[in-house]
Structure 1
Amino acid sequence: MDGDIIRKIDLKKENEDNVSHLSLTDESEALIRRFLTKQMARIMLLLVDHTMTNKEIAEKMDLTSSALSNILQRMKRCEVELLEIYKKEKYVIYSLTPAARAYAEKNLVLKGKGSVRLIKVNETDTLEWQNCRNALEKLKERLGEDWDVEFPHCCFLHYENGGKNEIPEARSFFETAEELIIREQNGQWKRILDDLENEVCRKSYLRYADKFIFIRKLCFLDAENWKMAYRLIDDVFCGEEVRISYDFLADSGDLSKEEIVGMVKALADIRKQSQERDLSGKEFLNEWERYFMPHEKLVYFIAEKYAFTKGKGERI
């Protein structure tokens, strides 16, 4: 059933529910309704009657931990607090706030449907997606029948050649696509990937765009466990060779090997690019700050590490 999500649960304890719908005001209900996406709604359904670790949620939803992290990070930005979070040993435990649970019980459960929960949530076309989609259409128009050959070349000119000899339509597309990543509109960004039409073009683009995805993953780690994020940065910037300490790997919790490697590669890549261009610490900050927003302290820490390890002991 396209657009519908069905989850079986036991409704026998409905009368025992101790969550008061008075915790949900009309204003907060409207805010949640406008904010909620399909994936967020699925998470809320999972948590209505349970507390779960991020690993358990990922398994239930058939998502990678990276994909789940992005969704949870977005949920934290709702004007109405949706998630209660606490740590037990190395695990992060999630449950719903009273307001979020009241919303789920009122709006995501259709009474009289027996043991079936049925919800309908539409993915919205954001302004950023519309801008990116328009930029892509103009780029396709400009490249014409040579799209398959010319698009990979556009990727090279933008990301490897500093934008020299780059056509304006290509620059506009790459910048608007990056904006989707920075704003963590991952569902919309994946729709753009599908619009690239073939695997060659997608791989050519992902070769560069993956770096920004893992930068956002590092931002999520910073929000969840800033000490771990700073330890990873220390490892990457501690010498000429990139090495990850055993202590970090031992304490990495639910982070997958792919996520750790991706974050390390992203940091190593921006360090290498900046060194090749001989950027100062301040220039480094100006170049990369937007990709880490709103984690100003994190990117400032990285910039200081970069400046200091240039060999001159430079400070920002």
Structure 2
Amino acid sequence: MFKLRDYQQEAVNSTLRYFIKYGEKSGNPVILLPTGTGKSLVIAGLLKTIHDNWGSTRMMVITHVKELIDQNHDKFKKLWPEAPTGIYSAGMGRKDKNAMITFAGIQSVAKQAKYFEDVDIIIVDECDLISPNQQTSYQKFFAHIREKNPYLKIIGLTATSWRLGFGSIIKDDYAPNALFDEIVFNACTVECFNWFIDEGYLVPLVPRKTKKEYDVRGVHTRGGEFIESELQKVVNDPDVTRHLLDDAISIAEEENRMSWLIFCAGVDHAKDVKDYLNERGISCEVVTGDTPKALRDQYLIDFKAGRLQAIANNNVLTTGFDHPGLDLIIGMRQSQSSRLW
């Protein structure tokens, strides 16, 4: 059974103190925690504490990718094996409608709010992905439940308190329509990052520059990010790919890096990266949105077990991928998103 670290317990306590202090006048609080510091366990702590003290409270944990649903549910069951949980996710092959605590994917529940009209608290992992646009899946889901339960509370967890193209996710003079009202716990300060590293909870990133660089001056942007189809045409040059990977291989060999995660600009780019690494005798597979579920799961199992040295992916493993053994990230796609970086 897991035990929360001190700062994780304080994140739970800070949230509960906020609700107790403001009662019915409380809004939607946010917890800020850096990637890798255990948001899943904070979620588990919140769920168990609320259930233990207010047993009739029905709760949901919602996110946007299957990996996070599985990770959050797994951590919670390890903290509390007997928990009254369910999962509502097409990607995981389950649609439990009546559990007191439901872990769900927004794509699966967006049009099924009728099953969750008595939910009191929704916890959203990676909550900066919620658009303020009232016509999005998240906002429509919240609005439907609020029609039945105007006291619905939404707790957000994220490492970034802003959204590309919109600004702050916390209400202020510049973001009056933001969903969240107050940061109740903030461990994303410079001082906190240094503390996490000093305590051994995070490792410092060690940047290594390749000799070859991409030239993306002609690539247009949309919504503050490079247009993927244009970016892939520039980036997926066989000559450039070989040069960049040769540089990366040299660095990895010098520093004995054994587990590589590679971010590519598109599906074709990821496949070409895989082919070249295989030519060089490095085991690598590709994970994209089109990879069959069973095959993707097997690739990731093999990668974490060390049977695969590298995984090349396109917009799949950017969120919710938990692999403590990872020791090399190869960024082969340009991005203007500070969140992605």
| Shorter-chain TM-score range | under 0.3
Q: TM-score normalized by structure 1?
A: 0.25
Larger Rg: 1 or 2?
Answer: 1
